[in-house]
Amino acid sequence: MSSNPIGTPIAAGAIERLRAAAGPGGALEDPSDTAPYCKSFRDGWEGRVPLVLRPQTTAAVADVVRICAEAGIGVVPQGGNTGLTGGSQPHADMSEIILSTSRLNQIRAIDIVNDTIVVEAGVVLKAVQSAAERVDRLFPLSLGAEGSCQIGGNISTNAGGVQVLRYGNMRNLVLGLEVVLPDGSVWNGLRALRKDNAGYDMKQVFIGAEGTLGIVTAAVLRLLPKPTASETAWIGLASPAAAVALLGHMRARLGETISAFELIGRSALDLLLAGVPGHEDPMSQVHPWYVLMELTSQGVAGSLNAPLADALAAALERELIGDALLAASGAQAAKLWRMRESLVEAQQAAGGSIAHDVSVPVSRIADFIARADAALAAACPGMRHCAFGHVGDGNIHYNPVRPLDWNAARLRQERARVNRIVHDIVADLGGSISAEHGVGQSRLEELEHYKQSVELDMMRSLKRALDPHGIMNPGKLLVR
Ligand SMILES: Cc1cc2nc3c(=O)[nH]c(=O)nc-3n(C[C@H](O)[C@H](O)[C@H](O)COP(=O)(O)OP(=O)(O)OC[C@H]3O[C@@H](n4cnc5c(N)ncnc54)[C@H](O)[C@@H]3O)c2cc1C
C-alpha cells in the first residue's frame, strides 16, 4: 500500500498501469466519454474521474483493484447507473476511478435441474429474466429500471421491486457470489447450494453493501417455476387503511398466488396523467387511492380469473373497495403496469420531488401516510402529494412534489428539512429511512442520525476489516 491518502489526484504512472490492466478498449479517458458515467439519472449527483475502466474478466478486475490498493486510489463500482442515491457517482476531485461492469456480461451456466443460473455482474436484469424464460423458468426480480440495471448493481443494492411480497428481495435470490476484495484477491463463493452452514454466510455481507466492501463479479441466482396463469386487477378504494385491509382479505382467499400488490395515490396518478403522454385513467370514476394487484400460479391459463372475481366481489360487499377492473388481456395488464412504472417520470414532469423510500410495519402504513401528509401540509403549504409503493412490504415511496410557487433551487434547499420531518415520523413508527434504494450519498447524514451507534460501530468495524485503506466506494453508505 502506498502512502497516497484517499482524496488526492491520481499519479500519471498509476493511470498508465490501470489503462493497461483494463485490457484493449477497456479504458475511457476523454471527458465526453466519461461524463455519462459520472452523472446520476436523478437528483443531480455528479463527479469527475480521469478514467472509467471496463474490464472484461474477473482477473482484469482483480488487476485493476490491486493497482488501486497499492496506489491508494478510490474505486467507484458501477453497474447500470440507475441507482437513486448517488452511490455509483464519483466525487469531483479526480481522486477516484469508475469501474464499470458493463463488459463483464456473460451468462456462464444454467442448471435446470438445480434451478440456478450463473451470471456475471454486468448482465442486465432483463437479460437474466429472458434467459430464465427460455428454459421455462422465472427469475422474479422485477423493477422499473430492469432494461438497464445490472445484476451486480441489483445485488449491491439488495434490490426489491414489485414481487418482493411473494419471492423476497435480491438477498433471497442469491445462492453464491464471486467477489474481488479490496486488496485485489478473488473470493470464489459461486456455490449453488440451498443449504450451507459451514461458517459465516459471507455472501450476505456483500449483498446490499453498495460497493463499499468489494466488487461483485459474478453470482449464482435461484430460478423458480414459470407461472402459467396470471391475472391483473386495478382496484379503486378510499384510503391506505382500506388497501391494507384488502391485502389481508385477499391473502386469506388467494394466499401465495398474490405476486404483487401496489398502492398508488390518486394525486400520483393525476401527475402521471397530466405530465406523461400515453396514459389514460383506467376507470371512469375517480377514487382517492388505487391498488394494482397481480396473481400468478402454475394452474391452467385463466384458472385464477374466477377466484379473483369472487374475492373482489366479496371485497365490494364488505365495502373494502369502490370498484375493480380485471385486465381483459396481457396487453391491458402491461398497460396498467406501465402506469405504475412511469410514476418516477411523472414526478420529474411535475417539477421534481423530495423522495423518501421508507418502510414501516404494514399495520402502520395508513398511520404513516396520514401523519406525514398532515406534517407537510403544515410545514410546506402547497406541497403536492405523491405516494405509492409496495403495500405488502410496508415500503412506501413518499415523494411530495414541488409546490408550484417554489423553483428548483428552493426544492433543493428544503430537502433536508422535509427529509427530517418525514423520517422522524418513520422512526417513531419503528420504520427504516431506506427500504430498498440504499444509502449512497443521499442518506449518509440521515443514517448517522437514525441508526443506533452500536450498529454503526459494527458496520465501521466490518468496513475496516475488509477494506482497511478505505478504497472501495469512499464516502458512500458510511461517512468517509
Ligand atoms: C425507473 C426506476 C425504477 C426503480 N425501481 C426500483 C425498485 O422498484 N426497487 C429497487 O430496489 N430499486 C429500484 N430502482 C433503483 C435501481 O434501479 C436499483 O437500485 C438497481 O438495483 C441498481 O442497479 P444498477 O446496475 O443500475 O446499479 P448502479 O446504479 O450502477 O449502482 C448502485 C450501487 O451498487 C454499487 N455497485 C454496482 N455494481 C456493483 C458491483 N458489481 N459490485 C459492487 N458494487 C456495485 C454501486 O457502487 C452503487 O453503490 C429504480 C430505478 C429507476 C431509475
- pLDDT digits over 237-293, tens only? 999 999 999 999 999 999 999 999 999 999 999 999 999 999 999 999 999 999 999
96-100/174-180 β-pairing: unpaired
Q: Tell me the C-alpha distance between 371 and 374, whole Å.
A: 5
- pLDDT digits over 177-230, tens only? 999 999 999 999 999 999 999 999 999 999 999 999 999 999 999 999 999 999
- pLDDT digits over 108-167, tens only? 999 999 999 999 999 999 999 999 999 999 999 999 899 999 999 999 999 998 899 999
Cα of 287 to ligand 1 centre, how many Å?
33
Q: Is 41 in the pocket of ligand 1 (CB under 6 A)?
A: yes
Q: pLDDT category, 5, cuts 50, 70, 90?
A: low
Q: pLDDT category, 9, cuts 50, 70, 90?
A: confident
Distance separating the N- and C-terminal Cα atoms of the chain: 19
For residue 8, the model assigns a pLDDT of: 78
Residue with CA nearest ligand 1 atom 9: 161
- pLDDT digits over 364-421, tens only? 999 999 999 999 999 999 999 999 999 999 999 999 999 999 999 999 999 999 999 9
For residue 108, the model assigns a pLDDT of: 98
**Interior angle at CA 389, CA 387 and CA 395, nearest 5:** 110
Q: Tell me the C-alpha distance between 411 and 369, whole Å.
A: 21
Q: Is 397 in the pocket of ligand 1 (CB under 6 A)?
A: no
For residue 480, the model assigns a pLDDT of: 82
Q: Tell me the percentage of the chain whose pLDDT exceeds 70.
A: 99
Cα of 101 to ligand 1 centre, how many Å?
13
Distance of CA 183 to the CA centre of its chain: 28
Ranges of H-type helices in 380-438:
408-428
179, 216 contact by CB (below 8 A): yes
For residue 193, the model assigns a pLDDT of: 98
Look up residue 380 and give its amino acid: C
The H or E element that residue 429 is part of is none
CATH number attached to the domain at 229-344: 3.30.70.2190
Q: Is 472 in the pocket of ligand 1 (CB under 6 A)?
A: no
137-138/224-225 β-pairing: antiparallel
For residue 334, the model assigns a pLDDT of: 96
- Is the pLDDT at 13 greater than 70, yes or no? yes
Cα of 300 to ligand 1 centre, how many Å?
35
Query: Angle, nearest 10°, between helix axes 408-428 and 365-379?
Result: 140
What's the grid cell of residue 168? Answer: 423476497
For residue 2, the model assigns a pLDDT of: 42
- pLDDT digits over 335-360, tens only? 999 999 999 899 999 999 999 999 99
What's the grid cell of residue 101? Answer: 461492469
Cα of 328 to ligand 1 centre, how many Å?
33
Residue 306's contacts (CB-CB under 8 Å, 6 or more residues apart) are none
401, 373 contact by CB (below 8 A): no
Q: Is-above-0.75 flag for pTM?
A: yes
- Is the pLDDT at 7 greater than 80, yes or no? no
Q: Tell me the C-alpha distance between 92 and 100, whole Å.
A: 18
CATH number attached to the domain at 107-225: 3.30.465.10
Q: Tell me the C-alpha distance between 350 and 356, whole Å.
A: 17
Q: Tell me the C-alpha distance between 46 and 43, whole Å.
A: 9
Topology agreement, domain 12-103 and domain 229-344: no
Average pLDDT, the chain: 96
Q: Is 348 in the pocket of ligand 1 (CB under 6 A)?
A: no
Q: b or e along 103-136 (b: 16 or more beta carbons within 10 Å of the residue's beta carbon)?
A: bbbeeeebeeeebbbbbbbbbbbebbbebbeeee
Q: pLDDT category, 1, cuts 50, 70, 90?
A: very low
> To test the ligand 1 pocket, which listed residue (100, 106, 129, 156) has its Cβ within 8 A of the most ligand atoms?
156
Q: Is 437 in the pocket of ligand 1 (CB under 6 A)?
A: yes
Q: Is 77 in the pocket of ligand 1 (CB under 6 A)?
A: yes
Q: Which atom of ligand 1 is nearest to the CA of 155?
A: 21
Ranges of H-type helices in 234-302:
240-254, 266-275
What's the grid cell of residue 316? Answer: 365490494
Q: pLDDT category, 438, cuts 50, 70, 90?
A: very high
Mean pLDDT of 15-20: 96
One DSSP character per residue, 4-56 reads: --TTSPPPHHHHHHHHHHT-TT-EE-SHHHHHHHHB-SSTT-B---S-EE--S
Q: Tell me the C-alpha distance between 379 and 372, whole Å.
A: 10
For residue 6, the model assigns a pLDDT of: 59
Grid cell 440521515 is found at 446
Q: b or e along 382-414 (b: 16 or more beta carbons within 10 Å of the residue's beta carbon)?
A: ebbbbbbbbbbbbbbbbbbbbeeebeeeebeeb
Q: Tell me the C-alpha distance between 226 and 377, whole Å.
A: 45
Q: Is 124 in the pocket of ligand 1 (CB under 6 A)?
A: no
Q: Is 182 in the pocket of ligand 1 (CB under 6 A)?
A: no
- pLDDT digits over 95-107, tens only? 999 999 999 999 9
CATH number attached to the domain at 351-438: 3.30.70.2740
Residue with CA nearest ligand 1 atom 41: 152
Residue 314 has what DSSP assignment?
H
For residue 3, the model assigns a pLDDT of: 39
Q: Which residue ranges make up each domain of the chain?
A: 12-103, 107-225, 229-344, 351-438
Identify the architecture of domain 12-103 in CATH: 2-Layer Sandwich (3.30)
467, 213 contact by CB (below 8 A): yes
Residue with CA nearest ligand 1 atom 28: 81
What's the grid cell of residue 456? Answer: 454503526
